[in-house]
Amino acid sequence: MPETPNTPSPATHGAYANSNADERRLQLMQSRAEALFLHHPHPLFELDPLGHFRHANLAAARFAGLHENEGQGLHFSRFLEADDSAQVERHFQQAAEGHTSRCLATIRTPDGQRHRVRLTLLPVIHEGHVMGIYAMLEEPDALRGAATVTPAAQRLVEAMPVGVALLDLTQQDYPVVLCNQALCRLLDMPRDVIEGHPLPVLRERESLAVRELHTALARRQPIRERLTLTRRGGQPLPIQLYLQPLEAADGDSEAVRQMLALHVPLHDTDSGSRAMERGVML
């Protein structure tokens, strides 16, 4: 008798069809994920679990001024301001442990430009293991609609010997757009805890001096007040706080969008006076 060819059983045929359907669904999901990564409007970088660049999307390539392959293998720390390295590394380690993390950071691109960004670190997890990390860059909320801070002004603020913060007068509660390392040391706070948030001293509205400061901010007027800061460890620190509006190009006080805040310990008021004389024109 002629042999009957082997034909798959209905159960085998069904399993094969399901396998093909699962594979097609997986391919479709991968295609969608790749398209979302490639065409996302914000700069997106894919890092390995140690922080080395793997891939960049189109927006990231434009942001960094690099072709995708140029940045592969480089560690993210090469593009950070030195003052931001420790806090970004701390947030990266949180992402490497599987937790989404966010912070503010200053990015230096190869062409020498400095960009203040909100950095979101998203872990890529497969079967319980972190396989990589997406780093997404966004303009901080406190900077949207604010006047541009030039690189020269950033360097000048950082070089001042007293604690300096630049406040955004266009936003509610006047968030800090930029601060220097001297202020971080004075307040005993990391930069990402200060920037993007209201100035710590302005939160104590019960104080008459602080209410006077808020009035001056609302009217965009200069003021000088003596206050006592409470540092993170609980130690009191008497200071003199200077608020100085940064003049608009046409001198219109209503157009003033930023205020300079200098924190000067009372034993060093001469430094504050010299810093105010120098000024910062943004």
**Predicted local distance difference test score (pLDDT) of residue 24:** 76
Q: Average of pLDDT values for 219-237? A: 84
Please state the rounded mean pLDDT for residues 228-250: 77
- Does 42 score more than 60 pLDDT? yes
Domain map (residue ranges) of the chain: 40-139, 143-278
How much is the mean pLDDT over the chain?
Answer: 78
Whether the predicted pLDDT of 93 surpasses 70: yes
Choice among 36-40, 199-203, 228-232 with the minimum mean pLDDT: 36-40
Region 89-114 average pLDDT: 87
Task: Spell out the long-range contacts of 173-181 with Cβ–Cβ below 8 A and sequence spacing 24 or more.
Answer: 173/198, 173/202, 174/198, 174/199, 174/202, 174/217, 174/259, 175/141, 175/142, 176/142, 177/116, 177/142, 177/143, 177/146, 177/149, 177/258, 178/116, 178/149, 178/154, 181/83
Q: pTM score, two decimals?
A: 0.51
Question: Between 35 and 57, where is the model more confident?
Answer: 57
| Confidence (pLDDT) at 282 | 39
pLDDT recorded at residue 150 = 64
Question: Which pLDDT score is estimated for 237?
Answer: 83
Q: What is the mean pLDDT of the segment spanning 55-74? A: 78
CATH entry 3.30.450.20 includes domain 40-139: yes
Q: What is the mean pLDDT of residues 190-197?
A: 83
% of the chain with per-residue pLDDT over 90: 16
Domain 143-278, CATH class in plain words: alpha beta
**CA pair distance 280, 7, nearest whole angstrom:** 83
Q: Is the pLDDT of residue 252 over 50?
A: no
Decide which of 33 and 80 is more confident.
80
The answer to whether 40-139 and 143-278 have equal CATH topology is yes
Q: pLDDT category, 19, cuts 50, 70, 90?
A: low
